[in-house]
Structure 1
Amino acid sequence: MWAAPRKRFIQIIMTTEADFQKFVDDGYLIIKDFLSEADINEIEQKCYDIVQEMNPNEHTLQTFSTSEDDQNKKRNNYFMESADKIRFFFEKQAVNEKGDLTVDKHKALNKIGHALHVLDPVFKKVTHSQLIQRVAKNLGFKKPVVVQSMYIFKSPHVGGEVVPHQDSTFLYTEPMNILGFWIPLEDCTLENSCLHFIPGSHKNGVSRRMIKAEDGVSTTFVGPLLEFDNDKFIPAEVEKGSLVLIHGEVVHKSEHNYSEKSRHVYTFHIAETEDTKWSKENWLQESNSMKFPPLYQ
């Protein structure tokens, strides 16, 4: 249960004109002290339990990368059919040529996705909390659905680079209407690879998209490959328990984590459904057994 003293916070969050305008101008916004220590501990413990119960030998040991070359080569049914499942994706440096893990499974994972918000009660509670709903409503979402969720590890030494990208390249709607909720469960600093943003870059639209290939089990990119000026990226160091709101079109990235510290994050995306169409070309699609759940429950 959410702590009673947080009721006042629920009433005031994301109501100031300054906060709203900063999000509109920059394409991202940091809200401090969003989750309590108890909330964070519950999420981390639940993730630990999920990984503890996972037998790597029962999975494909599919590695995950945001590199376009890697994505084109390694997409398969395990990834493409994960919208209604809890599946495990490993870091490239944690799997050897024989397909065996080179480090402990708890430190080998890149992420878990993409239906934590539906299939696990702890993640479902966080995703559909009054706090989250309040933020979405104050940003003007009428009938949003939750389209995916991920637990991201960014483990020490093996946590890979996330190249500059826009979330709407992968999750496309017409008109564009994607919002990311990014909740760090550990302090995110330059040392352990915090996010970097190009403020205002969400105003330039999305010209490159990742879509399903004709074979249905891989992806391809269409549209011009954009280059971004590294000097324009601003680091977003945030304390654990904060909330980072990420506009679907803002350019962001994170570096390889060479430090001794992990950088665990729970993140999910919502999409508006009122007067908005989910692209049938997106890799992520509803399944026959599971529709995208409404955020407002």
Structure 2
Amino acid sequence: MSSPDLAAYARDGFLVLEDFLPAAECAALQARAAELVAGVAAPAHRTVFSTEDQRHADDRYFSESGDAIRFFFEEGATDRPTALALNKIGHALHDLDPVFDRVSRRPELAALARALGLQRPLLLQSMYLFKQPHIGAPVDWHQDATFLYTQPSTVTGFWIALDDADRGNGCLVALPGGHRGPLRRRFRHRGGRLSTEILDATPWPALEPVAIEARRGTLVVLHGLLPHASAPNRSSRSRHAYSLHVIDGRADYPDDNWLQRPTLPLRGFA
């Protein structure tokens, strides 16, 4: 990263790096995701992932997925074939699958993490995001630190476009500079279940949202406190993406965070 890149990231809370992942690597992730999906037996129960009502929080299939590879469906798509009904695969692809492991631990990502000030980067969470044609659900405004909380806040998102992402098929949208505000919510274990705790009821800052259109292979870096969202995909085009979240191992990662890895210790880029 150049000094202007670092300055832009500090100012906006996000950074767009085009042509970061070669086309062959994008294709490898998409092909591997298709293989994983093809190997999924038709489930008797389909866990639906929705950012609007968080009903999945009460499902152990979701709450115990931090050290597993599991498949989550779009709301209203339970009668579709699995390949056309999935919302995402998560949350330990980077540790449990060799193709995702190789891409997640590319030297360029390790160098980027160091440039951003993560002195002891640990790869915490990964997701393959489908954003299916016509039914891809919106993602509400949120901060990644709501779900992946550290003290101090260190979570950083690496979001890679595997298809061209634009306004038509539900690209990311962000509030530039919004990362300088407080953390609004925490999604955590409380009273034996997962729930969202309001930390600060202040409305999102009155900033003009920016659509982050990204060609295939583009990396979008997201500050953990940056408010961001995405619109639904009502187009006939898919909008696949790969998302990796990294934290600094020097920070405290509380035991009440929703994502726990009791059988899989966190690893860095090496």
Q: TM-score, normalised by structure 2?
A: 0.96
Asked if residue 148 in structure 1 is aligned to residue 125 in structure 2, the reply is yes
1:204-227 deviations in Å (ceiling 9; x for gaps):
1203211113224x3233324453
The alpha-carbon distance between structure 1 residues 73 and 137, as it changes in their structure 2 partners (threshold 3 A), is closer
Q: Provide the C-alpha distance between the structure 2 equivalents of 1:229 and 1:256, rounded to a whole number of angstroms.
A: 22
- 2:61 aligned to which of 60, 64, 78: 78
The answer to whether the Cα contact below 8 Å between 2:178 and 2:205 also exists between their aligned partners in 1 is no
The alpha-carbon distance between structure 1 residues 154 and 73, as it changes in their structure 2 partners (threshold 3 A), is closer
Asked if residue 250 in structure 1 is aligned to residue 250 in structure 2, the reply is no
Q: Provide the C-alpha distance between the structure 2 equivalents of 1:180 and 1:90, rounded to a whole number of angstroms.
A: 22
Q: Provide the C-alpha distance between the structure 2 equivalents of 1:114 and 1:50, rounded to a whole number of angstroms.
A: 14
What RMSD, in angstroms, separates the aligned Cα atoms of the two structures? 1.5
Asked if residue 293 in structure 1 is aligned to residue 270 in structure 2, the reply is no
Structure 2: stretches of 5+ with no match in the other structure: none
Aligned residue number for residue 30 of structure 2: 44
Secondary structure of 1:182's counterpart equals: strand
Aligned residue number for residue 91 of structure 1: 74
Secondary structure of 2:191's counterpart equals: coil
Shift of 1:144: 1.1
Higher helix share: 1
Shift of 1:181: 0.4
Asked if residue 280 in structure 1 is aligned to residue 255 in structure 2, the reply is yes
Shift of 1:34: 0.6
Shift of 1:163: 0.5
Q: Provide the C-alpha distance between the structure 1 equivalents of 2:120 and 2:48, rounded to a whole number of angstroms.
A: 34
Q: How many residue pairs are counted as aligned between the two chains?
A: 270
Aligned residue number for residue 66 of structure 1: 51
The answer to whether the Cα contact below 8 Å between 2:158 and 2:243 also exists between their aligned partners in 1 is yes
Q: Provide the C-alpha distance between the structure 2 equivalents of 1:113 and 1:75, rounded to a whole number of angstroms.
A: 17
Give the 5 Å matches for 1:153-164. Answer: 153-164=130-141
Q: Between Structure 1 and Structure 2, whose CA radius of gyration is higher?
A: 1
Q: TM-score, normalised by structure 1?
A: 0.87
Aligned residue number for residue 262 of structure 1: 238
Structure 1: stretches of 5+ with no match in the other structure: 1-13, 96-101
- Moved beyond 6 Å, runs of 4+: none
